[in-house]
A and B are shown apart, each in its own frame.
Chain A
Amino acid sequence: MTELIQAVNLAQTPAQMVQAVQNLAAAKDPAAIPTLIKVFGYNNPGAAMAAVAGLIELGEQAVPQLLSQIDDYNYGARAYSIRSLAAIADPRALDIFISIVLTDFAPSVRRAAIKGLGNLQWQKLPASEQSTAINRAVETLLWICQDTDWSIRYAAVVGLQAMAKIPEVRSPILSKFQEMLTNDTEKAVRARVLMANN
C-alpha cells in the first residue's frame, strides 16, 4: 500500500497520475481513502473520476472521512466528494447534503447533493429517526423547486422522483409536480416532471 500511495504522490504527468490513482483504487484498501480524497484537489479530472470510483467501491467505510474532509475552498474538489457520497448513499450524509443544497454557491455541487438527497438508503437509519430524516429531505427538495436556476429545479425533480416511492411523502411530491407542470417557465423542467410522473 505504501508504494501505491507513494506512486500517486510522485506522479510527474497527468497520465501517470491517472494510472497511479487507478492502481491505488484497485487495491480496495481503506488505507487508500485519505489519498483518494486528496486527489480531488489536483485539478486532474481523469484522476478524480478514478478516485471517485475507488471511494464508491469502498462504500460505507469511506463515508466518515469523506464527510470530514470536504474542501470548503475548492468547489471542483467539493463536487467530487459530494458525488462520491451521493453514490454511496449512506444517510449519514443527510445533514451535509441539506446544508450544501441550501447554501453552496456552486450549482455543480448543489446538483450533486440534490440528486444524492433523493437516493439515500433510509432503511440504514434507526427506525426512530427515519421519518424525521425523510421529511427533512423532502422539505428541502420541495423548497428548491422555486430556485431561479433551471438546472437546480431539474435536479430537484430527479431527487423528488426517487423519494415519491416512499408512501408517506408521496402526496406532497405529486402535488408539487402538478404545480410545476403548470407554472415552471422552462420546458426542459416540465418535461422532466412528465417523465417523473410516468
Chain B
Amino acid sequence: MIETTGEEYSAENAPQLTPELAIANLQSSDLSLRYYAAWWLGHYQINQPEAIDKLIAALEDEDDRTELGGYPLRRNAARSLGKLGDLKAVPGLIKCLECDDFYVREAAAQSLAMLGDKSAITSLIKLLDGGVARAVQIPGRPHLTQPYEAVLEALGAIGATEAISLIEPFLQHPIPRVECAANRAMYQLTQDSTYGEKLVKWLAEGDIKLRRVVLGDLGAIGYLAAAKAIAQAQAENSFKLMSLKGLLEYQLGNDPENFSISPDAIQVMNLMDSLL
C-alpha cells in the first residue's frame, strides 16, 4: 500500500535554504539551484514581493531546457506562484498558457485555479478549442494535446459560468480523469447534484489512482452527500481524511473567525474520527 500525500519526506530531504538565499539562487549560474529554489519558495510560502517578482521573471526563462524543448524552471515557477497567492502573477501565468511546453501550460492552469482571478477565463477557454474531438493523446507522449483536466478544474474553481456549454461535452470524454474534471467543474458552476453523483460513481468503480483523484475532487467541491461514500472508499485513510476535510470546510463557511458547527459538520467529523 502506497500512501502519498506528498508530505511524508519532503522537509527532511531538502538542503537548508533561507528566503534570501532562495531568492538569490533563482539567478544562480547553476540551473539545478534555480530549479530547486523556485520549488522551495512555493513550498515554504515565501510570499515576499521580491520572491514574487523573480518568480514572475522566471516564467520567461530561456536557459533551462530539456531534450524535448521543455522549460523546467518555468514549470516550477508557475507552480509556486499559485501557492503564493499574489494576483500580480496572473498576467504572466496567462501568457504561460500559450507556452510550447505542455507542463508549463498545465502548471499555469493549476495556479490560475488557485488564484481564482476571472481575467484568466478567456485564455483558459481558448485551450478547449476544437472540443472533445481535439482532446486526444499526442503520439509518443504521456499526455493529451492540452492539459484538459487542469483547464476544466480551473474554469470550475474560478466560477466561469460562461464556459458551461464548452465544458459540458467533456462529460463524454473517454478518459475517466478528464470526465471527472468536467463533472467537478460542472458541479461547481451549477451546484447540480447529478455531477456530484457521477464522481461518487467513479469513486466506487475507478482504479486506485482514479479513486484518489476523485477523493480530491469531492473534497474540492465540498459535496456533502458523498461523505459516507468517501469514508467507505477503497483508498488510504490519508486521502479520505483530506477529502472529508474539504467537505468539513465547506460546512464551516468562509468567515475564519466566526463559525459554528452544524449537525452536518459533526457528521463529517465523526467520519473523520473513524479514519484515524
A interface residues with partner B (beta carbon < 8 Å):
43, 45, 75-76, 105-108, 111-112, 114-115, 148-151, 154-155, 158, 187-188, 190-192, 194-195, 198
Give Cα distance in the complex from A43 to B241, angstroms: 21
> Looking across the interface, which residue of chain A has its beta carbon closest to that of B244?
A188
Give the most central of B242, B265, B273: most A CB within 10 Å: B273
22 contacts between A and B (CB under 8 A): A43-B1, A76-B3, A105-B9, A106-B8, A107-B238, A108-B3, A108-B237, A108-B238, A111-B276, A115-B273, A150-B245, A151-B242, A154-B241, A154-B276, A158-B276, A187-B248, A188-B248, A188-B252, A192-B269, A194-B260, A194-B261, A195-B266
Q: B238 contacts A187, CB within 8 Å?
A: no
Give Cα distance in the complex from A187 to B253, angstroms: 10
Q: A191 contacts B252, CB within 8 Å?
A: yes
Residues of B within 8 A of A198 (CB): 261
Residues of A within 8 A of B249 (CB): 187-188
Q: Nearest chain B CB to A40's CB is how many angstroms away?
A: 10
Give Cα distance in the complex from A112 to B276, angstroms: 5
Known: A108-B238, A115-B276, A150-B245. 20 other contacts (CB 8 A): A45-B1, A75-B3, A107-B5, A107-B7, A107-B8, A108-B3, A112-B276, A151-B238, A155-B276, A158-B273, A158-B276, A188-B248, A188-B252, A191-B252, A191-B261, A191-B265, A191-B269, A192-B269, A194-B261, A195-B265
B15 at the interface (CB under 8 A from A): no
Residues of B within 8 A of A114 (CB): 276
> Looking across the interface, which residue of chain B has its beta carbon closest to that of A46?
B234
Give the most central of B7, B241, B266, B276: most A CB within 10 Å: B276
Size of interface on B: residues with Cβ below 8 Å to A: 27
Binary CB contact string for chain B from 161 to 181 against chain A (1 if under 8 A, 0 otherwise): 000000000000000000000
Q: A195 contacts B7, CB within 8 Å?
A: no
> Looking across the interface, which residue of chain A has its beta carbon closest to that of B234?
A45
Q: B241 contacts which of A75, A151, A190, A194 (Cβ < 8 Å)?
A: A151
Q: B272 contacts A154, CB within 8 Å?
A: yes
Q: A76 contacts which of B1, B7, B248, B266 (Cβ < 8 Å)?
A: B1
Q: Nearest chain A CB to B267's CB is how many angstroms away?
A: 11
Give Cα distance in the complex from A111 to B236, angstroms: 13
> Looking across the interface, which residue of chain B has its beta carbon closest to that of A115?
B276
Give Cα distance in the complex from A105 to B8, angstroms: 7
Q: B7 contacts which of A75, A149, A154, A187 (Cβ < 8 Å)?
A: A149
> Looking across the interface, which residue of chain B has its beta carbon closest to that of A112?
B276
- A108-B261 contact in complex given A149-B7, A155-B276, C-beta closer than 8 Å: no
- A187-B272 contact in complex given A76-B3, A107-B5, A151-B241, C-beta closer than 8 Å: no
> Looking across the interface, which residue of chain B has its beta carbon closest to that of A182?
B257
Q: B259 contacts A108, CB within 8 Å?
A: no
> Looking across the interface, which residue of chain A has its beta carbon closest to that of B256?
A187
Q: A188 contacts B3, CB within 8 Å?
A: no
Give Cα distance in the complex from A77 to B269, angstroms: 26
Q: A195 contacts B261, CB within 8 Å?
A: yes
Residues of B within 8 A of A149 (CB): 7
Residues of B within 8 A of A107 (CB): 3, 5, 7-8, 238
Give the most central of B1, B3, B238, B242: most A CB within 10 Å: B1
> Looking across the interface, which residue of chain B has its beta carbon closest to that of A44?
B1
Give Cα distance in the complex from A198 to B261, angstroms: 10
Give Cα distance in the complex from A106 to B256, angstroms: 30
> Looking across the interface, which residue of chain B has its beta carbon closest to that of A198?
B261
Residues of A within 8 A of B9 (CB): 105
Residues of B within 8 A of A191 (CB): 248, 252, 259, 261, 265, 269
Give Cα distance in the complex from A115 to B237, angstroms: 14
Give Cα distance in the complex from A179 to B236, angstroms: 31
Chain A to chain B: the 9 pairs with minimum beta-carbon distance, closest first? A76-B1, A115-B276, A111-B276, A188-B245, A155-B276, A188-B248, A194-B261, A187-B252, A191-B261
Q: Nearest chain B CB to A41's CB is how many angstroms away?
A: 10
> Looking across the interface, which residue of chain A has its beta carbon closest to that of B246?
A188
Binary CB contact string for chain B from 1 to 40 against chain A (1 if under 8 A, 0 otherwise): 1010101110100000000000000000000000000000
Residues of A within 8 A of B272 (CB): 154, 192
